[in-house]
Amino acid sequence: MGREASVTEDQILNECHQLEMQSQKVTGRAVREALGRGSLSTIGPVVRKYKTSKSRRSMVVDDIVDPEINQVISNHIATRITAATAEMTADLADLQSEYDDLRADHERKCEKIEAAEANQASLQSEYAALTGCATQMENEINRLEKEVVEQRNQAEAARLETVESRLKLEALPGYESEIENLRSLLDSVRDKAASDLAQAIRESATSHEAASVAAVKLRSEMTIREAISKTLAEVTQQRDDAIVKARSAVELTARLRGQLLERKSVKKAKVSNVA
């Protein structure tokens, strides 16, 4: 939809007539100054139309006037040709001035259009860069979200391992009680074996058969002692393994928690930079 003109053709024609009635020169610039608005590109064609119409009305008058009167008029017109030529020359100068103004206005508008096009190209380039940055940030956010999910899964596994290790640690007092019992049993067996050995030595002087029985009994008790020692070593090793696993689980949990906090900080920083 075109822009509505600031002045109408009737207003321009009326102003041309008023200037003519005031014996003023009818030009596009004079009409614009009288109206106080409008552009030369709108006013100029109407002014030329007015002048052409005025010339045609003069020719019609020449056709209906008596030849003698026409001759007098022609002579009078001849005397005014020079003045009319000067006036046309002035009109031509005005038209040239109007043309220069229009050309300057056109050049200014062309410069504005070129500046607007350059600005549009710059904005399009900036928009493309921002779009690429937004896409990159979106991909980075998706990657970080996946890493966070993976870290959460690892943290959950570490938590379960920690719970399991904690349960083992809670069972350590039972292991220690069992170890103490085994140590007490080992000491009692050792003492009893030593007592039996001494008694067997004393009785060996009187009975070789009794000594053999005591030796067999001693070997049996030594076997029991070795079994108890082995069990004690296994229980101690299980306790040490449980302690090591518990410490590893605690360290892993702390490390995963630190990584999660670091990831969140990086994600917030990148989102802030995009904003």
Q: Which two tokens stand for residue 200?
A: 């067997």
Q: Output the pTM of the full model.
A: 0.32
Q: What is the pLDDT of residues 118-137, one digit of tens each?
A: 889 889 888 988 888 888 88
Q: What is the pLDDT of residues 78-120, one digit of tens each?
A: 677 667 677 778 777 877 887 888 888 888 888 899 898 988 9
Structural domain contains residue 95: no
Ramachandran area for residue 23 (φ above 0: left; ψ -120 to 50: alpha; else beta)? left
Structural domain contains residue 230: yes
In the chain the first and final C-alpha atoms are separated, in Å, by 39
Structural domain contains residue 112: no
Structural domain contains residue 38: yes
- Say which residue the tokens 């008790």 belong to: 221
Same domain? For 59 and 156 the reply is no
Same domain? For 54 and 172 the reply is no
For residue 216, name the pLDDT band (cuts at 50, 70, 90).
low
Range of the domain at 238: 143-274
Q: Which two tokens stand for residue 81?
A: 């040709």
CATH code of the domain containing 214: 1.10.287
What pLDDT score was predicted for residue 2? 47
Same domain? For 150 and 60 the reply is no
Same domain? For 60 and 156 the reply is no
Distances (CA, A) of 187 to 86, 201, 222, 234: 145, 21, 12, 18
CA dist., res. 40 & res. 47, Å (int):
10
Domain count, the chain: 2
